[in-house]
Structure 1
Amino acid sequence: MEQQIPGIGGVKAAGRGVATLDAWQQGGKWFSYEGHAIFSRMAGQGEPLVLLHGFPTASWDWSRIWPMLVQSNNVLAVDMLGFGFSDKPREHAYSIEDQADLMQGLLEGLGLESVHLFAHDYGCSVVQELLAREQEGMLPFRIASVCFLNGALFPEVHNPLLIQRLLRSPLGGLISRGLTRRSFERSFLKLFGSKNVPDQRDMDDFWHLLTYNNGRGILHHLIQFMEDRRCHRHRWVSALQNARQPMRLISGIADPVSGAAMVQRYHEMIPEADVVQLKNVGHYPHFESPWEVFSAYRDFRKRQ
């Protein structure tokens, strides 16, 4: 199944009720994971829907689509360990499996029997690990559906930016600690569609989330998720191929990192692949074109 939606210009088309970054933080709560403070937000009514963010950003990525999702879902989003407003311990052994432990523990603690998962980028890998655990009978709750936004579901067709390659190199620590606002913007803006480039205030917010609580100092540790994807490739791709629940990929195909090539690979690897392509949209579809993403997601849920 394949759909194409022509992206409409305007990263500003966010709808009513979109929170500023300050309001986003003030509306959240923190919980403890292995002694670390984890930022979270929950709102809305309906079936539980869990949002998982990407690297190197945070749950605020979802702020433009949040007002739409909470109308018919009980929505939960967290800043995973090392991201956003959550703690960023320097010596922690960051991994996708550890973040999956965090999410599993939170959902189990909430006593949820069934959840829908909506993931972007880094969060896609966390969902793949959770799917694998469910198939192995290791989850105390059911994953009702999964929707992916741009992410490296298949590492062999992932095309990382130069800054990501440098962070993985032996110089990663120096690159991480020495990252400047200018070099961050130069790399980060390459991820967006030409009609949906963030403005200066948006970039202020992205930079604030990245540097909050000494976030620059751990980027070279967080980037090891790229090695996790390579090492667990068979397990995580098998989890997609063996998934029993409805799945959809919504992809901004102007994404230079995990766009059109990832869509093609998804079709090759996933039986009866359900894909929606967004033209002129880059790596952050939910931030760049929130209405198109919401429409595609709402349609996906209505078909279940």
Structure 2
Amino acid sequence: MLIHPSHDACAQTWPTPWHQSGFFHQYHHDGITRQIYINHKQSNKPCLLLIHGFPTSCYDWKPMWLTLAKHFHLITLDLLGYGLSDKPSNVDYSFSLQANIIEDVLKHQGIKEFHILAHDYGDTVAQELLARHGQLGNNGVFNIKSTILLNGGLFPETTRPIFTQKILLSPVGFLVAKLFSFKKFIANFNHICYQKIPVADLAIHWQLIQHNQGIDVIHKVIQYIRERQINRQRWVNALQQYPQPLRLINGICDPVSGQDTLMRFEQLIEQADTIALLETGHYPQIENPHAVLVHCMNFWRQHKMIKFAEVEP
């Protein structure tokens, strides 16, 4: 389709049916057109926007996709610098830019009301969207009906980047990135996830990271860690002032944003709605997708957002 597979562990399964079903959106900015990969499942049901984390892509949502599609009009995308989307070297990969891209995608799809399910880096993109549109009637462009967040750096003071992230942030980050390998990628995933992810699945994620010379810009993308510190108050305020239903589902065995992040959420968010997932690390939607689905569905049912049957076992 769009990628010529390399001779690695995922070559035999590439491209996946997931990627064959997607399409590209053209995002125009400063006289340049960027290609943004979109996957969606259209229906007349309420819209659910899924926002992925670092350093992976919207393929993260595949384990939950078919079940969610029974109850939602789904839309997700590879953010700029991720997955199949463009990965330019001359861009400031800010959360503001990523939110602008999402807004452009939603406008072109004719979507004005939606729910959010986000993870990791996507949590902060969601916080930026909430800062812009979370208050009812603030500008009349979008109505974010509810928000569910999975493990992510919501609060810089409780987020602990792993060693690889720290060195990517350093002045020699661009050199360090060139030393990355699939073996190191697996080691990092094994460190942040409590449940081991099959190597075949990790190979597909690695292929997507490498696509479009992604390794060459990963040190630029990861500057988001500093941006979270600078804009902490704006994005914490967005959560505190959000009037619609909000839930945090957190794998508490996550060494990056686990138990401490959940506790900080409960301290800072009035009447905080939190779910602690045992024996689950940084990627709940991949490690423990059924549990995430159950707690998401219960949340939407509780707030009468949609009607549906129980999640299938």
TM-score (norm 1): 0.91
In the TM superposition, residue 188 of structure 1 has moved relative to its aligned partner by: 2.2
Instruction: Indicate the residue corresponding to 2:105 in structure 1.
Output: 106
Structure 2 distance, partners of 1:302, 1:166, is 43
After superposition, the Cα gap between the structure-2 partners of 1:122 and 1:139, relative to the gap in structure 1 and judged at 3 Å, is farther
Query: For structure 2, which runs of at least 5 residues remain unmatched after alignment?
Result: 1-12, 304-313
> Equivalences for 1:131-142 in 2 at 5 Å?
131-135=130-134, 137-138=138-139, 140-142=141-143
Query: Contact 2:134–2:144 at 8 Å: present in 1 too?
Result: no
Query: Contact 1:133–1:139 at 8 Å: present in 2 too?
Result: no
CA deviations on 1:195-247 (whole Å, 9 max, x unpaired) are x2012201211211111111111110000111110010000000100001100
In the TM superposition, residue 44 of structure 1 has moved relative to its aligned partner by: 4.7
CA deviations on 1:51-106 (whole Å, 9 max, x unpaired) are 00000000000000001100010000100011001111111111111000101111
Query: Contact 1:104–1:139 at 8 Å: present in 2 too?
Result: no
> Equivalences for 1:106-185 in 2 at 5 Å?
106-135=105-134, 137-138=138-139, 140-185=141-186
Instruction: Indicate the residue corresponding to 2:34 in structure 1.
Output: 36
Letter aligned with residue 98 of structure 2 = Q
Report the number of matched residues. 284
Structure 2 distance, partners of 1:250, 1:20, is 31
In the TM superposition, residue 266 of structure 1 has moved relative to its aligned partner by: 0.3
> Equivalences for 1:70-109 in 2 at 5 Å?
70-109=69-108
Structure 2 distance, partners of 1:200, 1:110, is 35
Structure 2 distance, partners of 1:188, 1:215, is 18
In the TM superposition, residue 113 of structure 1 has moved relative to its aligned partner by: 2.4
Identity of aligned residues (%): 36
Shifted more, 184-193 versus 93-102: the winner is: 184-193
18, 21, 31: which is aligned to 1:27?
21
SS in 2 for 1:251: strand
TM-score (norm 2): 0.88
Structure 1 distance, partners of 2:188, 2:63, is 22
In the TM superposition, residue 138 of structure 1 has moved relative to its aligned partner by: 4.5
Structure 2 distance, partners of 1:44, 1:291, is 23
Query: Contact 1:49–1:116 at 8 Å: present in 2 too?
Result: yes
CA deviations on 1:149-181 (whole Å, 9 max, x unpaired) are 000111111000000000000111101122122
Instruction: Indicate the residue corresponding to 1:234 in structure 2.
Output: 233
CA deviations on 1:114-156 (whole Å, 9 max, x unpaired) are 1101000000000100111115735611000000000011111
Shifted more, 224-233 versus 42-51: the winner is: 42-51
Query: For structure 1, which runs of at least 5 residues remain unmatched after alignment?
Result: 1-18
Structure 2 distance, partners of 1:88, 1:56, is 12
Instruction: Indicate the residue corresponding to 2:204 in structure 1.
Output: 205
